[in-house]
């Protein structure tokens, strides 16, 4: 069995998956969870989320929002950023819609 030795504070997992041609591929995922403080400071979260093995939905799959995609995949050309937050209406005035923005980097 292929093993990893994780010397980081992050979560890590591995799997042997099949690519589109049926070849076995050893996939290693390292996942970091951060906390954004009210003043904008970013720090490593006290609890690191485990690597997600299968899609996670808010309710019934196919009938509700996708919360997390599987992170153990053969081809993953970039970085995923998941923002788990709550938006509040300005002044606490009830609203039917509210535009919010999130940005990563510049």
Q: What is the pLDDT of residues 52-86, one digit of tens each?
A: 999 999 999 989 988 888 999 998 877 778 877 78
pLDDT in tens, 21-54: 999 999 999 999 999 888 889 999 999 999 999 9
The whole-number pLDDT of residue 55 equals 92
Classify each residue of 15-28 as buried b or exposed e, where b means 16 or more C-beta atoms within 10 Å of its C-beta. Answer: eeeeeeeeeeeebe
- Residues across the chain: 106
Return the DSSP state at 51.
P
The DSSP result for 82-95, as a single string, is --------GGG---
Q: Which two tokens stand for residue 33?
A: 């969870």
Taking the C-alpha atoms of residue 2 and residue 26, their distance in angstroms, rounded to an integer, is 8
Q: Does the CA dihedral 17-23-28-33 come out positive or negative? A: negative
The answer to whether residue 10 scores a pLDDT higher than 90 is yes
């Amino acid at each position: 069995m292929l093993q990893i030795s994780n010397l980081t504070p992050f979560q890590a997992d591995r799997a042997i998956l099949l690519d589109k041609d049926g070849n076995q591929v050893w996939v290693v995922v390292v996942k970091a969870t951060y906390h954004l403080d009210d003043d904008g400071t970013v720090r490593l979260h006290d609890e690191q989320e485990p690597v997600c093995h299968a899609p996670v939905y808010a309710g019934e799959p196919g009938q509700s929002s996708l919360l997390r995609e599987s992170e153990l995949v053969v081809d993953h050309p970039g970085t995923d950023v998941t923002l788990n937050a709550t938006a509040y209406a300005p002044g606490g005035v009830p609203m039917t819609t509210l535009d919010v923005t999130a940005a990563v980097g510049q």
